[in-house]
Amino acid sequence: MRRFFRGVVIFLIGGIVGTAFGVALGFFLFPYVFPPPPAAEQLTAADVASPAPPPPQAAAPAPTPTPDALPATTVAPPSPIPPSQPAPVAVATGTFIHANPSDPVHWGRGRVSVYEKVVFLEPDFEVGPGPKYHVYLVPKANIRNENGVKGTMFIDLGRLRAFKGSQRYPIPAGVDLKNYPSVVIWCEAFGVLITPADLQPVAR
């Protein structure tokens, strides 16, 4: 009887360990097997436009219209920069690198441009696939391993939407870009640096 219960316990533990391993393996392999399509986003006029001056204060508040009098409104999608407009000038630019050449899994390449309101991954951007990648602005230069990110007050710009192609990530208001000399792609699932880009200010 004791052997029977021991066998049941071993069987249950093996099943739990096997299931956990299978889930972890599936979580890791899913981006490789089913990668998202390449991105092809564009900078918008709002990304590079100067802030609009505040409207003049009215002498007296206008009366609030009744619900029946409110006009129907629609939210227009962001407008791309018209070809006739001069090309926008970035605040800083950089190039993603393969920080650890001995690691064939975690790598990146391509250019990144930083504007006052957005981080723009250029069309030649590409990284090796993986789970739960995020785009960080990091207040430290020359990042080459995980220690350069851990323990810093980085800014998470959101989850990476595609492993290649142009993508735009808005920067929160009030961020002083001079304090953030690096953009990195970071794997939050395993706490691993995927690829860093050292930013260089653009002369104006």
Between CA 99 and CA 195 the distance in angstroms is 6
3 state DSSP class of 186? strand
Specify whether the CB–CB gap between 130 and 31 falls below 8 A.
yes
Between CA 77 and CA 157 the distance in angstroms is 20
Give the residue from 203, 39, 194 showing the smallest Cα distance to 125: 39
- Token code pair at residue 145: 């391993």
User: Could you tell me whether strands 165-170 and 39-40 are parallel, antiparallel, or unpaired per DSSP bridges?
Assistant: parallel
Phi-psi region of 144 (alpha: psi -120 to 50; beta: other; left: phi over 0): alpha
Residue 119, C-beta contacts closer than 8 angstroms, at least 6 positions apart: 112, 113, 135, 137, 157, 168, 169, 171, 183
3 state DSSP class of 40? strand
pLDDT at 203: 86
User: What is the reported pTM?
Assistant: 0.70
Query: Looking up tokens 């739990």, which residue turns up?
Result: 16
Specify whether the CB–CB gap between 62 and 55 falls below 8 A.
no
Please, what is the end-to-end C-alpha distance for the chain in angstroms?
Answer: 82
- The count of C-alpha atoms lying within 13 angstroms of the C-alpha of 109, restricted to the half-sphere facing its C-beta, is 4
3 state DSSP class of 114? strand
Between CA 55 and CA 120 the distance in angstroms is 30
Q: What is the pLDDT along the chain (204 residues), one digit of tens a residue?
A: 666 666 655 666 755 645 545 444 444 555 556 678 999 999 988 887 654 445 555 544 555 554 454 444 444 456 666 666 666 889 999 999 999 999 999 999 999 999 999 999 999 999 999 999 999 999 999 999 999 999 999 999 999 999 999 999 999 999 999 999 999 999 999 999 999 999 999 987
Give the residue from 196, 28, 182, 198 showing the smallest Cα distance to 100: 196
